[in-house]
Amino acid sequence: MHIDKKFSFFLAHVALFVVFFWFGFLKFFGVSPANDLVRELLLVIPIMNMWPFESFIVFLGAVEILIALLMLFPRTTKYGVMILIPHMFTTLLPLFLLPTMVWQQALVPTLAGQYIIKNIVIVALALSVVLEKKSR
């Protein structure tokens, strides 16, 4: 592997760690910008609205920090991706279940919608990290 490729591979791990750790950490203190979105999503999913928001958001933060830690170490990256993928797909649910919060009009996302749509990039980066590891 060329030095530039090694460095970009390292940066990908660090970037995924920073994003998930930071976002998860904010949830522990109730200051995540995603809290309102998560709260509303829990209300529209019948089975989930039985889980109190305060404990769910801490659980979600813990899951995100776990993903962060697993993504930081190359040997555990595949386990991080195994948790990351379903987590990212559930973050897409507001695009369909909470349209007034995520769309200004057809195909024009709100800031919350943009926050969700950028997860496509996170999934692609995580998959490329795992696939690059397998190709070595």
* Distant-in-sequence, close-in-space partners of 109: CB < 8 Å, separation ≥ 6: 102, 103, 116, 117
pLDDT value at 9 more than 90? no
For residue 85, the SS3 value is helix
pLDDT at 19: 97
Cα(2)–Cα(17) distance, integer angstroms: 23
The pair of three-digit structure tokens given for residue 135, joined into one six-digit string: 């190709």
Tell me the percentage of the chain whose pLDDT exceeds 90. Answer: 78
Mean pLDDT of the chain: 92
Strands 108-109, 103-105: pairing kind: antiparallel
For the entire predicted model, the pTM comes to 0.91
Burial state string for 19-41 with b = 16 or more CB within 10 A and e = fewer than 16: bbbebbebbeeeebebeebbebb
CB atoms < 10 A from the CB of 18, how many?
A: 13
Q: How confident is the model at residue 6 (pLDDT cuts 50, 70, 90)?
A: confident
pLDDT in tens, 22-81: 999 999 999 999 999 999 999 999 888 888 999 999 999 999 999 999 999 889 999 999
Beta bridge partners of 23: none
